Amino acid sequence: MKTPKSEKDKSEKETEKTAVSNSAPPPNFIRNIIEDDLKTGKYGSKVVTTRFPPEPNGYLHIGHAKSICLNFGFAIEYKGRCHLRFDDTNPSKEDVEYVDSIKADVRWLGFDWGEHLHYASDYFGQLYDYAAQLIKDGKAYIDSLSADEIREYRGTLTEPGKDSPYRNRSVAENLDLFERMKAGEFKDGAHVLRAKIDMASPNLLMRDPTLYRIRKVSHHRTGDKWCIYPMYDFTHCISDSIEEITHSICTLEFENNRPLYDWVLDQLRVYHPQQIEFARLNLTYTVLSKRKLIELVTGGFVSGWDDPRMPTISGLRRRGYTPEAIRNFCERIGVAKRDSTVDMALLEYCIREDLNKKAQRVMAVLHPLRVVIVNYPENQVEELDAVNNPENPNAGTRKVPFSRVLYIEQEDFREHPPKKFFRLSPGKEVRLRYAYFIKCEEVIKDENSGEIVELRCSYDPATRGGDAPDGRKVKATLHWVSASHAVKAEVRLYDYLFSKANPADEKESPDWKSCLNPNSLDRLTECRLEPSLAQAKPGERYQFERMGYFCADSDSDQSSLIFNRTVTLRDEWAKIEKGQSKK
């Protein structure tokens, strides 16, 4: 079907605006390290082994996606392996629900760990033996100071720590106490196992860090088998070593833990992977800390982990994001050594770019205004051709019913139009997309409220398809639905979850929850959609012409359709980028 030039609607203009140059990803310092290691044969074989080690104490978020894309991405690029390993050493906060959601999210993002699904808890036996080896070598001791005393003895950034009075216990006594800790003879907190390093080290983490503590709680995988649990710093490096990880990539906050990572592996004289740190992802208008996200869920500030306003993978999925858009976003932001905050508009740009190619166009009226075409025959229905996706010539066309009573968008009519308002107003003519020119003849108002309830319009039968044979022009093309054919739906519009760009910045906003955006959700319950959407299945994505990209919600079904707006058509990122290039 021929689309007249004048019929360039918002969605098509959108395409032009999003055609921002696809610049190459910035140089990646981790890739350089891997390339060097492969050249020098540092790890013998050519296989690059990475891992993604989440703690199963929450759902994954877009920051984790950066780490997942990086780790699994390198494994794919170098034909190596990437392991999914649950860092489950803190039994009280962990849950099978989280393990399952993490696996589902990694798979949905498009990655596969193959046979390499691991749990740090699988290594509890080996970790215990390694701890005993450290004791035998005089590199670890049982300390019986209380937690408060240990803190006091640790010193500060400016003052060195003090040795614990238990630091010089004999190997035999240490071994005996360690075994009895394991056997459950002591209460929580009575003793801990500590590495014997240096209480005066400028790095506080090296001041005899705790390696094991007593926790008499059940573990979601090992049950009540253990009542002592290894600490993260001890577990993590040994797990990497056992799995023969070559490049152990983590975020910058672990930079100070690296000397301890290396110390443990050096003392044990085992296979020694290298830890490499990169800057974590921060995004504007949201928070990416699991502690804060848990608070939002348990405090009822959102409907759950998969609330479409959440930056979680499950929230983004429900909102309508695609794995491709998220992977593309992660590639564009690149990896660096310095922390920075990425503009949410870039994430939105990536999803628009993807959906522009994929999403079928449909017509949906979010705030309906009734229009009666007075000169259109009462019982006539015409099936008009509509283009499914102007970006995809193979997407074809569909039929849209046109009849005497229609709905248009309330905002497309003004009784007293301001200057440059080219849409419908009394006496003015506009085009109905794929249909006819119509002209507003009369405005009907509610007698009591004065509210506009209906427009009476005439149509020009000669303009079928959207063009006038006499060459006359109109300045606006409106979307519409046929009142008797349309399906009713609830549509949820979202705004940012926070009204401040950096809600996590404690200097700017000491109480991060005080900047939650009270208008982040707008539920429209009277929307009318073209009938082709009656069968929409949860997860299906569409462009509602002129209104944005939408996705059928997971709770949507044929008896009550619910759509989430994924993103508007407005392209903030293109504007920002244009602005930056002008500077």
Name the residue type at position 107. Answer: R
Q: At its nearest, how many Å lie between ligand ATP and the CB of residue 149?
A: 27
Query: Distance between CA atoms of 479 and 60, rounded to whole angstroms?
Result: 38
547: left (phi over 0), alpha (psi -120 to 50) or beta: alpha
Q: Is 66 in the site for ligand ATP (CB under 6 A)?
A: yes
Is 280 tagged catalytic? yes
Residue 14 vs 105, nearer CB to ligand ATP: 105
Burial of 154 (0-12, 13-18, 19+ CB in 10 A): middle
- Binding at 352: pick from ligand ATP, Mg ion, none (beta carbon under 5-8 Å per type): none
Residue 392 makes CB contacts below 8 A (sequence gap 6+) with 357, 358
Query: Distance between CA atoms of 530 and 544, rounded to whole angstroms?
Result: 10
Query: Distance between CA atoms of 370 and 405, rounded to whole angstroms?
Result: 7
- Binding at 280: pick from Mg ion, ligand ATP, none (beta carbon under 5-8 Å per type): ligand ATP
- Binding at 14: pick from ligand ATP, Mg ion, none (beta carbon under 5-8 Å per type): none
User: Nearest 5°: phi and psi at 289?
Assistant: -115, 130
- Helix/strand/coil for 2: coil
Residue 54 vs 315, nearer CB to ligand ATP: 54
Name the residue type at position 167. Answer: R
Pick out residues in 110-129 that bind ligand ATP (CB under 6 A).
Answer: none
Q: Is 84 in the site for ligand ATP (CB under 6 A)?
A: no
**Rg of the chain's alpha carbons, rounded to an integer?**
31
Q: Is 290 in the site for ligand ATP (CB under 6 A)?
A: yes
Applying CB under 6 A, which part among 280-288, 319-327, 429-437, 441-449 lies near ligand ATP? 280-288
- Binding at 281: pick from ligand ATP, Mg ion, none (beta carbon under 5-8 Å per type): ligand ATP
Q: Is 55 in the site for Mg ion (CB under 5 A)?
A: yes
Q: At its nearest, how many Å lie between Mg ion and the CB of residue 61?
A: 12
Name the residue whose CB lies closest to Mg ion.
Answer: 55
Residue 259's CB: how many other CB atoms inside 10 A? 15
Q: Choose, from 7, 55, 244, 331, the residue flagged as catalytic.
A: 55
Q: Is 64 in the site for ligand ATP (CB under 6 A)?
A: yes
Q: At its nearest, how many Å lie between Mg ion and the CB of residue 27?
A: 28
Q: At its nearest, how many Å lie between ligand ATP and the CB of residue 73?
A: 13
Burial of 512 (0-12, 13-18, 19+ CB in 10 A): buried
Q: At its nearest, how many Å lie between ligand ATP and the CB of residue 288?
A: 4
Residue 35 makes CB contacts below 8 A (sequence gap 6+) with none
Pattern of binders to ligand ATP over 248-277, x per CB under 6 A? --xx--------------------------
- Can you tell me which of 280, 332, 456, 500 binds ligand ATP, judged by CB under 6 A? 280
- CA nearest 363: which of 16, 10, 6? 10
Q: At its nearest, how many Å lie between ligand ATP and the CB of residue 247?
A: 12
Residues in the chain: 583
- Binding at 66: pick from ligand ATP, Mg ion, none (beta carbon under 5-8 Å per type): ligand ATP
Residue 344 makes CB contacts below 8 A (sequence gap 6+) with 283, 284, 285, 286, 496
User: Nearest 5°: phi and psi at 345?
Assistant: -60, -25
Q: At its nearest, how many Å lie between ligand ATP and the CB of residue 343?
A: 15
- Can you tell me which of 49, 63, 227, 403 binds ligand ATP, judged by CB under 6 A? 63
Residue 100 vs 179, nearer CB to ligand ATP: 100
Distances in Å between the alpha carbon of 497 and those of 158, 329, 500, 520?
40, 20, 9, 5
Q: Choose, from 280, 370, 456, 464, the residue flagged as catalytic.
A: 280
User: What would the two tokens of residue 62 be?
Assistant: 């877009």
- CA nearest 481: which of 402, 557, 552? 402
Q: Is 103 in the site for ligand ATP (CB under 6 A)?
A: no
Residues that contact ligand ATP, how many (by CB under 6 A): 15
Is 290 tagged catalytic? yes
Q: At its nearest, how many Å lie between ligand ATP and the CB of residue 294?
A: 9
- CA nearest 167: which of 185, 145, 141? 141
Is 473 tagged catalytic? no
Query: Distance between CA atoms of 113 and 83, rounded to whole angstroms?
Result: 5
Catalytic residue numbers? 55, 280, 290
Residue ranges that bind Mg ion, judged by CB under 5 A: 55
Residue ranges that bind ligand ATP, judged by CB under 6 A: 53-55, 63-64, 66-67, 87, 250-251, 280-281, 288-290
